[in-house]
Amino acid sequence: MSAPSFVPTPTLRPTDVAYRGPRRRLGSWTADRPGEIGEDGQPGGERFGVQGPDQGYALLLARTLVPRLRLAPDEHVDDAVVGCTGVALKRSSLHGRAPVLADLEVAFGLFGFFDDAPPDALAEKRRGLFAGVAHHHHYAAARAIADRVPEDLLRLAPSEAVSQGLPA
């Protein structure tokens, strides 16, 4: 931008107006502030769950599958959704992506929620596992459901995972 004609311009420019960058930081940068993830990656342990992008979307996907669920008279839809959503989120995070419908189909399929008459052993197991997990005080029980499903099984294709079923 040009200056008005009445502003005097010096004939010589001062030598101290040259650009001076910030001082150089010695060494490499490290994530050492409290909110940053360090070299060890995401923290892990009991009740940490699995980290992944857009995990809330799994609840919306799970609600679309509710009409297909076959529940025993003493089972509740909310318990099935909460328990299987944890399994689906575990599967999606193992693949490094957000949850998709196939993750939820695998989770519900592993516990026989799509079967009209699941095997008696599976029905009895899921009745004990899923009882009351929708209540927020039962987070540990919901996590235990996801922890029971081995990672090797969740890494399989959806049809293979459901056909293999849960280990005894």
Structural domain spans, the chain? 76-163
The H or E element containing residue 29 is none
Q: What is the pLDDT of residues 75-111, one digit of tens each?
A: 999 999 999 999 999 999 888 899 999 999 999 999 9
Numbers of helices and strands, H then E, in the chain: 7, 0
DSSP string, 44-76: -STT-----TTTTHHHHHHHHHGGG----TT--
pLDDT of residue 113: 93
Residue 15's pLDDT is 64
State the average pLDDT for the chain: 85
* Distance separating the N- and C-terminal Cα atoms of the chain: 78
Tell which wins on pLDDT, 33 or 164.
164
Structure-token pair, residue 58 = 């799994």
Tens digits of residue pLDDT in 106-132: 999 999 999 888 888 888 888 889 999
Q: What is the pLDDT of residues 127-149, one digit of tens each?
A: 889 999 999 899 889 989 998 99
Note the pTM of the prediction, 2 decimals.
0.73
The residues, any chain, with a CB within 8 Å of residue 109's CB and separated by 6 or more, are 158, 161, 162
Amino acid of residue 94? L
Task: Return the DSSP state at 99.
Answer: -
